[in-house]
Structure 1
Amino acid sequence: MELRQLRHFLAVAEDQHFTRAAERLMVSQSGLSASIRALERELQTPLFVRTTRRVTLTEAGRALLVEAERVLDRVRAAHEAVAAVQGVLRGTLALGTEQCIAGVPVARLLAGFRRRHPDVEIRLRQAGSGALADEVTAGRLDLAFAVRTGTDPEQLRALALSSEPMTVLCHAEHPLAAAGAAVTPEDLGGEVFVDFHPDWGPRRITDAAFAAAGVPRTVALEVNDVHGLLDLLDENLGIAVVPHHFRHKRPSLTALPLKGTGGAAYETVALLPPPEATSPAARALITLLETGGA
C-alpha cells in the first residue's frame, strides 16, 4: 500500500466521483481508476460502489477512510515538523472555532499568523464544541477554540482562555424585563426558550445547569447561529440563556443575571492534542495568542 494510493482513495471518497477526483489530483482518470483497483486487490475487497453518476463507500471503504485520514495527517505532520526544525514553518493549519467565541479575536489572530507565516495554508472550520473536540481528537483539526463542557475527551489538553457568567436575554417588553431582577432556573421553568443546537457549548452549559437544578425546560426555537437567536429574541418569541458578552450584540434586548446554577460559567479554551502530537503551526498560533501578537 502506497501513500499515493491513499491520497487517490481519499480524493475519490471526498468527491464521490472519479472524474472530479482525477481533475483535482491532476492525474488521468484511467490512472486513478487503476490505482484504486490495485488498492482493492491488495485489500481483497471493494472500497466503492460505482454507479454511472457517483461512487459511494462500501463498509470496508468507510473503515479505510478513517485510517487513511489518520495516516495522511501524520505524514503531513512529519513534513511540517522537519520544516520547523529547519526554521521554516509551512504546511497547513487546520483550526476550528465556535461562533462568537469569547477571549479570542479569531480573525485578527489569523491575520497576524498569516503575516508571520505566509507559507502556511490556513483552513478554518466553524462548528459546535462537541464536534470540534471530536475533530481534534481524530487529528482532522490541529486545534480548536471551544467551550469547556466537562465532557471533552481526556486525551485533549485544554488551555484556559476566558471565563464569564451566563446571562438571560429577553425582549424589553417581556415580563422578566419589567421585573429587572436576577433570576434562577426555577423562575424560568415555564418560559419558551430560544437556544443553539445541543452540540454548542452555551447550550450544553445551560442544559447541565437546569438539569442540576431539577428544572425541566423545552427549547422551542433551535438555531445554529448567534444572530438568528438574537433576531428571535428581538421579536419577543422567547428568552435565551447565553454567555454574558452576548448582551453587547443587541442593545435593544434586556440582560438579567442568572443565579442559582451552582457557579455554571461559560469558559472558553483552546483544545489541543498531546504535546507530541501538536503541530508546529498550532504551537506557533498559540504562542502568538499568548504573547498578544495578533
Structure 2
Amino acid sequence: MKIPSGAMEAFLEVARTRHFTHAAQNLGLTQSALSQRILNLEKLLETTLFVRGRAGPTLTPAGEKFLSHAQTVEALEADYLGRETLGSVRVAAFSSVMRSLTLPALAPLLIDRPLPCTLLTRELGELAELLRQGEADFIITEGDGGREGVAASFLGFEENVLVKLKRRKVPEIYLDHDPLDNTTARYLQKQNKRKFERRFLNDIYGLLDGVKLGLGLAVLPRHLVKNEKDLEILEENRTLRIPVWLHYLEQPFYTKGQLEIKAALESHFRAHLPQR
C-alpha cells in the first residue's frame, strides 16, 4: 500500500490548521478537492482520521498515530532535499517561561538564520492538547508527560516565591491570573494557610505590574523578580518548586532545525533554572 503524497500533504495541512477551508486555501485546492483527498486517505487506511465538528476537525486516536508517521516522512524528505519543512516549527509554553526564557533561548538561533518558528503562549491546561492534536511541535509544561508516544526532557524547576512592593504597606490580597489559577493556593497550603482574599489580573505580567503598583502580594517565579529592584521576596527560603519539562512527539527522525531548537531550549533553561 502506497500513500499518495497529495493525501499526506492534505492531512498534514488540516492537522496544522484545524480548518478545512484554510488548509485548502494554503494548498491552492478547492475545499471539496481537499475533503476528497482526506476521505480517500481514510478509505486507504480503513480508519477515521478526523472528527468533523463545529469547532473544526480534531484528530482521532488513529489520526494522532498517523500524524507522527506523517511528520516523520515530511522531516525525512526535507532533510534529503536540504531544506526545512514547509511549516513553521511551533513551540508552545505557559506565560511565565515564554518571554523570560523561551524567547531568549531561541533568539540567537532565529537571528543566525531564517528558521521558520512560531511561538505560542497558552495556559498550562491547554498545552498537552496542542501537542496531541498536532498544533505544536514542542510544548513546555509541568510534569513528565507519561503518555505513550510523547518524549519528555527535564528543563529544571521553576521556583515560585511570595513578593511585595518594597517599603510599602500593601493589602493582604493575593494576586492570581483567574479563579482556576491554583499557584497561590499551592504555595499557601505548604504554610497551612487555606483561607485568603484574591484579586485577578489576567496574566503573569499583570500580576507583576499589580505588585509594583501595591495592589497586593503575589506568588511569582524567582527568575521573573530577581532583578526587580522595587520588589522584595518575603520568606526567601519558602518556595513552591514546579518541575518544567519539554514535551514532543516521539519520531524516528527529526529535522536539523527541530534538533537545534530542542538543544537551544534545553541549554538555556538548564542554565537559568535550578536542576535539583
TM-score normalised per structure 1: 0.63
After superposition, the Cα gap between the structure-2 partners of 1:209 and 1:277, relative to the gap in structure 1 and judged at 3 Å, is farther
**TM-score, with length taken from structure 2:** 0.66
Distance 1:278 1:208, change over 3 A: farther
Where does structure 2 lack aligned partners over 5 or more consecutive residues? 269-276
Which of 133, 139, 153 is equivalent to 2:145?
Answer: 153
**Contact 1:95–1:142 under 8 Å retained in 2:** yes
Using the alignment, how far apart are the partners of 1:75 and 1:28 within structure 2? 22
Is residue 252 of structure 2 the alignment partner of residue 271 of structure 1?
no
Instruction: Name the residue aligned to 2:274.
Output: none
Equivalent AA in structure 1 for residue 146 of structure 2: E
Matched, 1:135 2:120: no
Q: Deviations over 1:171-200 (max 9, x none)?
A: 342269xxxxxxxxxxxxxx421123477x
Question: Secondary structure of the equivalent of 1:77?
Answer: helix
Partners of 1:287 and 1:220 lie apart in 2 by 39
1:101 aligns with 2:97: yes
| Cross-structure match for 2:198 | 220
**Cα offset for 1:169?**
1.6
1:181 paired residue number: none
Q: CA offset at residue 253 of structure 1?
A: 3.0
Moved more, 34-43 or 208-217: 34-43
CA 1:12–1:106: 2 relative to 1, 3 Å: closer
- Check if 1:169 corresponds to 2:173: no
Contact 2:16 2:135 in 1 (8 A): no
User: Structure 2 vs 1, CA of residues 34 and 76 (structure 1 numbering), >3 Å: closer, same or farther?
Assistant: closer
Q: Which runs of 5+ in 1 are unaligned?
A: 50-55, 177-190
Q: Note the 1:250-269 alignment, pairs <5 A.
A: 250-259=228-237, 264-269=240-245
Equivalence for 2:173: 192
Q: Distance in 1 between matches of 2:15 and 2:247?
A: 28
CA RMSD of aligned residues (A): 4.4
Q: Is 1:236 the equivalent of 2:240?
A: no
* 1:287 to 1:175, Cα distance in 2 relative to 1, 3 A: closer
Matches for 1:17-166 after TM superposition, within 5 Å: 18=21, 22-29=24-31, 31-32=33-34, 56=54, 62=58, 64=60, 67-68=62-63, 71-84=66-79, 86=80, 88=82, 90-91=84-85, 92-101=88-97, 105-114=101-110, 118=114, 120-146=115-141, 148=142, 151-155=143-147, 156-163=150-157, 165-166=159-160
CA distance in structure 1 between the partners assigned to 2:254 and 2:16 by the alignment: 28
**Superposed displacement of residue 81, structure 1:** 3.3
Do the aligned partners of 1:96 and 1:127 also contact (CA within 8 Å) in 2?
yes
Structure-1 separation of matches of 2:130 and 2:4: 25
Deviations 1:20-72 (A, max 9, x none): 65433312355456667878999999x758xxxxxx369xx6565x6546534
One-letter amino acid of the counterpart of residue 144, structure 1: I
Pairwise CA distance, 1:75: 1.0
What is the aligned counterpart of 1:287 among 252, 263, 267? 263
Residues 72, 251 of structure 2: 8 Å contact kept: no
Deviates more, 1:232-241 or 1:246-255: 246-255
Deviation at 1:240, TM superposition (A): 0.5
1:281 Cα deviation after fit: 3.5
- 2:146 is paired with a residue of what secondary structure? coil
Q: Does the 8 A contact of 1:195 with 1:222 survive in 2?
A: yes
For 1:132, give the aligned amino acid: L
Q: SS at 1:94's partner residue?
A: strand
Aligned mates of 2:154, 2:99 — CA distance in 1: 10
- Residue identity opposite 2:106 in structure 1: L
CA distance in 2 between counterparts of 1:289 and 1:48 reads 35
